Structure 1
Amino acid sequence: MSRQPMLRLRFVGRLTIGLLGVATALLLAPSATAQPEVDANNAITAAWQAGGGDTGPLGPRSGDVYPVGAGFAQNFASGKVFFTPETGAHAMQGAILEKYESVGGPADSDLGFPTIDEGPGRAPDSRNTTFSAADNPVIFWTPATGARVVRGPINAAWDKLGGSSGVLGVPAEDETYNASTVSQKFTGGEVSYDSRAKTFTTMPPDLAGQLADLSIPDDPVAA
């Protein structure tokens, strides 16, 4: 056999061995693919431990992390922690958690995931949590009024008028709808928004003047 074919055979043999080595290394190397459940578990555990772990407000774990909606959750003795990569891990308890789940929670409502831990509001003895939906929803709770969802144009108006520490006080009822108008009662009055006319009406009536320059998108669920 001539020298040139022999060199070719040696080259092919070395190439084959090299490719086998690369394939083996890839098989043995740690997986670099995304592991969202692992990330969720790590984030939820960190949030739980930062809040005191077993002896904190949430208490001990009750089961493992599980997928829900576009993210994950974990149950604890006294609440839940929800997680997405965009919102992070945030805890809810009691009446606010019950309200969130009663309207569908992260899987079946359009509120999205919590963007802050449940915490004190500005009104005395109040609690609140904000959510990731585009219209900036919040669930607000007091012992006297219970847990109420405030969102979209009503939430924008409430915020403009000082929120829970302003003239309207805290939400006393959930939103109601009448054709193109959404309304919500507060302990200090009422706000209505007509999406066709793009105008607010209020009780007391003079509050509406303070909302005249408030810009609301055409889609009230994108306020």
Structure 2
Amino acid sequence: MYAKVLGAVLGLGIISGAIVAAAPAQAATVGGVSVPAPAQSPPLGMTTSISRIAVQYNLGSPLGLTVTGLKDGGAYRQYQRGFVVYSPATGAQVSRGAIRTAHGKLGYEKGRMGYPTSGELLSANKTSTYQRYQHGTIVWNATAGAHAIAGAIGAKWVAAGGANGSLGYPTSDETGLNGRGASQSFQGGTVVWSSFTGARIMKGAIRTAWIKNGAQAGQLGYPVTDEQALPLGGVIQRFEGGTSITWTPKAGAVVNPGVPHSNI
């Protein structure tokens, strides 16, 4: 009886109480006319994986059959409280709420993020929930909502400790700058990127001074380093415009002339 009930839940064939995969449907010829085979059920492994994730996340009852034919052999199934998305490369993963909405804005599996590669994860400080994808991460926080992090900015965020590091959760989406760069704001600062200078972290008084001086469009240009400690205290950050900004407790943030950077 248990096997019959489980088979009904998973959509499997039942023979003498055993769970089996349905035999592949075959095309037929009727009166000399080829009749296409009926649509086949999803593979047994896919169906089992999707159902397991639905139970794990308490998604409720399915609202339809598994939809196949997605990119790279993927599929999804909708439930009362979310979706389960599957691909052979990433397995079955939950997809729901604000994180799914953010993924959808970027084109779901066809977009820059690809398929999810993890379930929902909680940051160490328990302030945000995040989910990993083939090409980035989407982070949700009750204050800032859900935002995708990818590419060089995403790599910099990961190197800084991700959601558990000094930058914390993202507070904006990635924004283009001057047609040759991008930036993204985080709880603990901003990551600024250009193809000439790479991704750099900006924060605090130095970032404020940079913005007051025209940011990347001003005399300073893009940052070419992160903040670096000064021997006598304070920090310095250098820029492609041949200048730097120093910060000390006594003087605050000061813009200093310097030797032009080789990437100008």
Normalised to the residue count of structure 1, the TM-score between the two structures is 0.68
Evaluate the alpha carbon distance shift between residue 202 and residue 80 of structure 1 in structure 2; reply closer, same or farther with a 3 A threshold.
same
In structure 2, the residue matched to 1:191 is 191
2:226 paired residue number: 208
Select which of 19, 35, 50 maps to 1:44: 50
- Structure 1 residue identity aligned to 2:155: A
Richer in strand (by share): 2
Question: What corresponds to 1:78 in structure 2?
Answer: 81
TM-fit CA distance, 1:174: 0.3
In 2, the alpha carbon distance for the partners of 1:77 and 1:202 equals 43
* 1:125 CA drift (Å): 3.5
Structure 2: give runs of 5+ residues left out of the alignment.
1-22, 27-39, 208-224, 229-236, 238-264
Bigger Rg, structure 1 or 2? 1
Q: Look up the SS of the partner of 1:156 in the other structure.
A: helix
Assess, with a 3 A threshold, how the Cα gap between structure 1 residues 88 and 121 changes in structure 2: closer, same or farther.
same
Written as runs of structure 1 = structure 2, the 5 A alignment for 1:17-36 is none
Q: Tell me, yes or no, if structure 1 residue 130 matches structure 2 residue 155.
A: no
- Which residue is 2:175 aligned to? 176
Structure holding more helix per residue: 1
Identity of aligned residues (%): 27
Task: Show CA shifts across 1:12-51 (max 9, x none).
Answer: xxxxxxxxxxxxxxxxxx65x9x782242232123324x1
3-state SS, counterpart of residue 172 of structure 2:
coil
Secondary structure at the residue paired with 1:37?
Answer: coil
TM-score by length of 2: 0.58
1:199, distance to aligned residue in structure 2 (A): 5.3
Q: Secondary structure at the match of 2:183?
A: strand
| Residue 99 (structure 2) aligns with | 96
CA separation in 2, counterparts of 1:78 and 1:48?
9
- Aligned partners of 1:200 and 1:100: how far apart in 2? 25
Partners in 2 of 1:198 and 1:145 — Cα distance?
26
Instruction: Name the counterpart of 2:161.
Output: 162
